[in-house]
Amino acid sequence: MKSHIVALFTIMLVIVSCKNEPQIEYAILHGKIKNPIGKTIHIEGNDGSNFSKSIALKEDGTFRDTVYAKPGYYTLKYHKLRIKYYLEPGFNLQTDINTEVVEISGKGAENSNYLASKGEIYSQILPDFVSLYSQEEAVFYNRITELKASWGNLIKNTPNLSKEFISFEQKSIHYYYLLNLERYAFYHGFFTGKKNIKVSEKFKTPLISVNFGNDKEFVFFTSYHDLVRQHYANRIRNEKNISVIFDEISAFKAPILKESLAKKFNNYILPSEENNEALYNGVLRLSSNTAFKQELIKRYLRIKPLAKGKTSPQFNTYKNHKGGTTSLEDLKGKYVYIDIWATWCSPCIREFPFLKKLEKDYRNKNITFVSISIDKAKDYDKWVQLVQDEALEGVQLFADNAYESKFIKEYVIDGIPRFILIDPEGKIIHGNAQRPSDPKLIEIFDQLGM
């Protein structure tokens, strides 16, 4: 009888000790960087948790810290190096960095090493973004299908992966596959110059059953987040009745998703866009952020007068590269195509060859090409030199107060390059016209009879 009492007491002690054992809520990151630069490294969460932490480096390059974080994807940032991690409470990862050679070991390391192998497979199978999306549909489809299958095989053949991590990865891979299907038509048309791209049913079918209103997935999976945004961007570009699209989004019980889409589509409200009113009303419905909505209302009221057919805002006595000054009023009697740019803007400079060709092709036509730099006054000489070095033609002008110039503010220009098309009477044709590199611009010129 005594032995039974002792045994029972022992079992009770085990149960009590198990209940009292503290649950680990953190992962440990430690390691060493050879020849360290700086005094810290930084780790951020990739799952929408806004997790962010700096970890001190000792003089010998070693580091050690705890990361109180839920299971998910993280990135360690050290200068130009980016290391992808998957962390769970209880993981203990050793990371050794020698130049750009990274070795991860310790408890849970298999998951992070899988992510590195996943990146290598991506580089082997897919070409650069432009080349990939320039491929014809069949070739493109085979590439992304091969990538999905290769990543799936990597999961199967990598031992000791966390069960939760496997579940995450299977979803992430599937969403990335769908994302590529969703954005193919838009980017293929953009990079090849082809119009009205139609994809096969093979492309459309996997997207039919997708739930585009899942807030939890939107926050956690980058590929799902991008898929949702691309899906609704495509629909707003291609469907006539966009109010129906906002009806659909508004019905979602997904406040984070809706707020994100509101901010995205706010940027679609631009001078002379036909759908501005529907976009404005739709974005107002999606957002519950009072400050954002107040700014949206102010911006819309500034953009509304810039509709097609309205009199264009004016610029006056801008410095001309050839000497003297020029005002918009001086250019009346011809169509005016205006390029707003700056010497520090790489996308602006990439348009130079296309703009030069336009100027050459339309030299004897009823159109004047004007380029307005919004560089700061201190960079005036830099502007003068770049115009000369690039042999830029047309009317080259320097705005009177950079981004704060009255003309720039009246056109609600908060990003460049920006292009404006005005008719011979000084009326707006488009306050956000196509770039010189866009074939649609030639179509517009042709319609205007130039």
Q: Provide the CATH number for the domain around residue 91.
A: 2.60.40.1120
233 and 323 share one domain: no
150 and 291 share one domain: yes
Integer angstrom CA distances of residue 1 from 6, 123, 409: 9, 70, 92
Give the model's confidence band at 37: pLDDT under 50 very low, under 70 low, under 90 confident, else very high: confident
Beta bridge partners of residue 41, listed in sequence order: 55
Q: What pLDDT does 22 receive?
A: 63
Give the model's confidence band at 2: pLDDT under 50 very low, under 70 low, under 90 confident, else very high: very low
Beta bridge partners of residue 52, listed in sequence order: 44
Task: Give the CATH number, domain containing residue 398.
Answer: 3.40.30.10
Q: What pLDDT does 329 receive?
A: 95
Q: How many other C-beta atoms are found inside a 10 Å radius of the C-beta of residue 33?
A: 23
CB neighbour list of residue 319: distance below 8 Å, 6 or more residues apart: 325, 380, 397, 398
> What's the domain count of the chain?
3
Range of the domain at 49: 27-107
Output the pTM of the full model.
Answer: 0.83
Residue 428 lies in a domain: yes
92 and 140 share one domain: no
245 and 218 share one domain: yes
Q: What percent of the chain has pLDDT over 90?
A: 82
| For residue 18, pLDDT beyond 50 | no
Are 163 and 142 within 8 A, CB to CB? no
SS (H, E, C) the chain: CHHHHHHHHHHHHHHHHHHHCCCCCCEEEEEEECCCCCCEEEEEECCCCCCEEEEECCCCCEEEEEECCCCEEEEEEECCEEEEEEECCCCEEEEEEECCEEEEEEECHHHHHHHHHHHHHHHHHCCCHHHHHHCCHHHHHHHHHHHHHHHHHHHHHCCCCCHHHHHHHHHHHHHHHHHHHHHHHHHHHHHHCCCCCCCCHHHHHHHHCCCCCCHHHHHHCHHHHHHHHHHHHHHHHHCCCHHHHHHHHHCCCCHHHHHHHHHHHHCCCCCCCCCHHHHHHHHHHHCCCHHHHHHHHHHHHHHHHHCCCCECCCCCCEEECCCCEECHHHHCCCEEEEEEECCCCHHHHHCHHHHHHHHHHCCCCCEEEEEEECCCHHHHHHHHHHHHHCCCCCEEEECCCHHHCHHHHHCCCCCCCEEEEECCCCEEEECCCCCCCCCHHHHHHHHCCC
Q: Which of 260, 280, 306 is the last residue of a domain?
A: 306
97 and 130 share one domain: no
Are 344 and 382 within 8 A, CB to CB? no
**Residue-wise pLDDT tens digits, 305-359:** 999 999 999 999 999 999 999 999 999 999 999 999 999 999 999 999 999 999 9
| Bond from prior residue into 127 cis (ω within 30 degrees of 0) | no
133 and 85 share one domain: no
Q: What is the mean pLDDT of residues 364-368?
A: 93
Q: What pLDDT does 58 receive?
A: 94
Residue 14 lies in a domain: no
159 and 284 share one domain: yes
| For residue 6, pLDDT beyond 50 | no
| For residue 291, pLDDT beyond 60 | yes
Q: What is the mean pLDDT of the chain?
A: 92
Q: Which of 306, 333, 364 is the last residue of a domain?
A: 306
Q: What pLDDT does 11 receive?
A: 43
The gap between the terminal CA atoms of the chain, to the nearest Å, is 108
293 and 366 share one domain: no
Tokens of 308: 């097609």
φ/ψ of residue 252, rounded to 5: -70, 140
284 and 137 share one domain: yes
Beta bridge partners of residue 62, listed in sequence order: 32
Q: What pLDDT does 21 receive?
A: 56
Position with higher pLDDT, 46 vs 227:
227
Tokens of 172: 């992430």
Residue 330 lies in a domain: yes
Residue 300 lies in a domain: yes
| For residue 421, pLDDT beyond 50 | yes
**Residue-wise pLDDT tens digits, 120-157:** 999 999 989 999 999 999 999 999 999 999 999 999 99
Residue 279 lies in a domain: yes
Residue 117 lies in a domain: no
Q: What pLDDT does 364 receive?
A: 87
Region at 317 (left for phi over 0; alpha for psi -120 to 50; beta for the rest): left
Q: Which of 306, 333, 365 is the last residue of a domain?
A: 306
Q: Which amino acid is at 47?
A: D
128 and 273 share one domain: yes
Q: What is the mean pLDDT of residues 255-267?
A: 96
Q: What pLDDT does 7 receive?
A: 46
**Residue-wise pLDDT tens digits, 170-200:** 999 999 999 999 999 999 988 887 878 899 9
Residue 12 lies in a domain: no
252 and 382 share one domain: no
Position with higher pLDDT, 204 vs 111:
111
240 and 170 share one domain: yes
Position with higher pLDDT, 85 vs 450:
85
Q: What is the mean pLDDT of residues 436-443?
A: 90
